[in-house]
Amino acid sequence: MRFELGSYYHIYNRGVNSANTFHTTQDYAFFLEKFRYYLSLTVETYAYCILKNHFHFLIKVLHENESDNKISVVPESDFDSHYILPNPDKRSFPVHTLISHWMNSYSKHFNSKYNRTGPLWDGRINKRIIDSEEYLQNVLCYIHRNPVHHGITDTYSDYPHSSYSACLNNSSDIIFSDLVLNVFGGKNNFKAAHQEFKGNYGKSEFEF
């Protein structure tokens, strides 16, 4: 499950047997916080959407020097308590390991909170590499369209657990909104592409 440095990935998973994995607003917030906790130093995040029984993220895996630049500003005391180091002599983190920590930490929290046992997720996280700008745009739109597709809302911006509004308003410390908007050539093109995708959407290879 290795990730290539400098590559873009769509990562996603669902609850085991499609069971709900998020019940309250606090669950969604905790899941995002754990994502930030484990992955903010090693990836750039372009989009996410979390629904009651599954989630989608679009990330770019940073090169080692890019990650090191971020890591270098973290105080030593915070750093040692914040992460499980694969190599104590080198402050670097393989993304697949950090994703595993993220998934496991939320599973433990959820099982404890709701007095359940056993696996929470339907196996390991799924990933698809994104190899073109067109595919990148389509996956961004696809991720944000999930609440519309599942009948939760008719409007992208109405759903609180996706990055659509954050991309437009620069209102999240997880989303690199400037980079996202650059993919489309600005806010207006971002909005237009999402509206077009909303109307032309067909069956997806990663549909849940």
What digits encode the pLDDT tens for the residues 60-86?
A: 999 877 765 555 445 454 444 444 444
Q: Dihedral sign, CA of 66, 97, 1, 22?
A: negative
Q: Are 148 and 198 in contact (CB under 8 A)?
A: yes
The larger pLDDT score, comparing residue 171 to residue 60, is at: 60
Please tell me the predicted confidence (pLDDT) of residue 88: 43
User: Going along the chain, which residue ranges are E strands?
Assistant: 8-14, 43-50, 54-61, 126-130
Strand order in the sheet with 43-50: 43-50, 54-61, 8-14, 126-130
Q: What is the pTM of this model?
A: 0.87
Mean pLDDT score, 189-198 = 92
Could you tell me whether strands 54-61 and 43-50 are parallel, antiparallel, or unpaired per DSSP bridges?
Answer: antiparallel
Backbone torsions φ then ψ of 14, nearest 5 degrees: -135, 170
In angstroms, the CA 175 to CA 173 distance is 6
Q: Compute the mean pLDDT over every residue in the chain, rounded to the nearest whole number.
A: 86
Mean pLDDT score, 42-47 = 94
Please tell me the predicted confidence (pLDDT) of residue 208: 46
Q: Are 126 and 14 in contact (CB under 8 A)?
A: no
Query: Most confidently modeled of 37-51, 71-85, 90-104?
Result: 37-51
Which domains are seen in the chain, by residue range? 8-200 (3.30.70.1290)
Please tell me the predicted confidence (pLDDT) of residue 70: 59
Q: Crossing angle, helix 95-113 and helix 25-39, to 10 degrees?
A: 150
Nearest C-alpha neighbor of 90 from the set 105, 113, 68, 123: 68
Residue 89 predicted with pLDDT over 50 = no
Nearest C-alpha neighbor of 54 from the set 126, 135, 140: 126
Structure tokens belonging to residue 89: 């002599």
Nearest C-alpha neighbor of 69 from the set 86, 89, 85, 91: 91
The larger pLDDT score, comparing residue 89 to residue 170, is at: 170
pLDDT tens digit string along 17-30?
A: 999 999 999 999 99
